[in-house]
Structure 1
């Protein structure tokens, strides 16, 4: 018999985990919305950022979140250059398939370099608050998950404001909605797409730092994240950032609740079940229609 306290705690932990999933999936949604690119290297960049945070904390004894001062602008620049130098050269007719192959190769390169630099040994940041928790109505909530969720919330709110309230955001949304029409009104869609990719990769930098607070990392960990993140953006609706956020919260809650009866390994299958169900019932995603028009 599951107690009410355990159920309540699992619900809260699911929401916190869903917030992290939403942050990690936001970049994938941007890539696909801008150029229909399936960015398999996104999760590899997340793990790369986590390694940077771990190395920064190890060398300086400072909080790993401070590493974002360097990684966010660096990842933004890498994303811009990747789009302008590599992805923009792909033919539109084969963009999606070729982007899978290209970004798959980039993911392998990142994994190989991490393995060469740090070996395959698992790493974890030793934080002074790593084992701390906060009691809320009888539930024990880990501090690291609260910090990760807060970071995700701030990042997604910032992304929303950029897309909705800035001139660049309007240009990016126009590029996503209709590239040719955006060009007709004078928008430099190539440059805008480059900045959009940079923005997507900047979210990977933030997500990696947040992940490093609560996860043990190793070079091949990015393969573990590809499936869940792809499932989130498909269920939420390809190209819909709010749809991906809603799907991430729902699947995060379901995953944690399923850990009670079946354990963490089998609970992970909820992402793949949701993916298959979406492709069979509503291939365009459950939240990608009306909500996608807002972004």
Structure 2
């Protein structure tokens, strides 16, 4: 194994179309709900979205809270709130999403709703665009809000390919949008964090680079996790650590050759399946 530069190029046609449609539909919405992954709150912030939605009130939902470390999630809320947006941390599968999102939407739109009431206008439902990078939980949020399978959801990127309106209550309507990435990662660390989280399809990923990035991070920040999961002694070299995992799991080919592909895939799958526990891959104090 030899260290190489990350090269990810993924901006399929449906994303280009979605970006154009989002620009058009923004005229119809009152606010934007932007989902970010609580494990990577900065890396999962799409700069295209920030540019598109800068004129709209915005609620940031840090999803997958059950996969992130609470101490860092709290610090991220404090950090992001200073940018003048409302921020909440949520486990979309277990939290009371209807109550949390509805209250946050009413708070964000309070001034506009009060103006309408003063003018004798009966407020219509708040219309909100739900946006974010792939596989961050947009469809899961909408289905929980609607109390039914209103949109298709899956734990992989690229499932939603078209915009769709969903009425979730008398006071709130949501516009589901496809997960949109941007054409080029100027900072390869962003691409690596998105790759670790599962926001990018594995078929186009350089998995070796992703595994090495993840191992370096764990060696520096959470070495006890590696020791406990794989029962191996620590090294500062990520390649040595991966080979030790191969030895511990019996992933050997002929002679002394270890099975790199199987080891890397196992390591990344363990991360995605939460076998290493709750890990925040982006620390607020280091950003």
* TM-score, normalised relative to structure 1: 0.25
User: Which is higher, the Rg of structure 1 or of structure 2?
Assistant: 2
Q: Which one has the bigger strand percentage? A: 2
Q: TM-score by structure 2 length?
A: 0.25
Larger RCO (CA under 8 A, 6+ residues apart): 1
Structure (1 or 2) with the greater helix fraction: 1
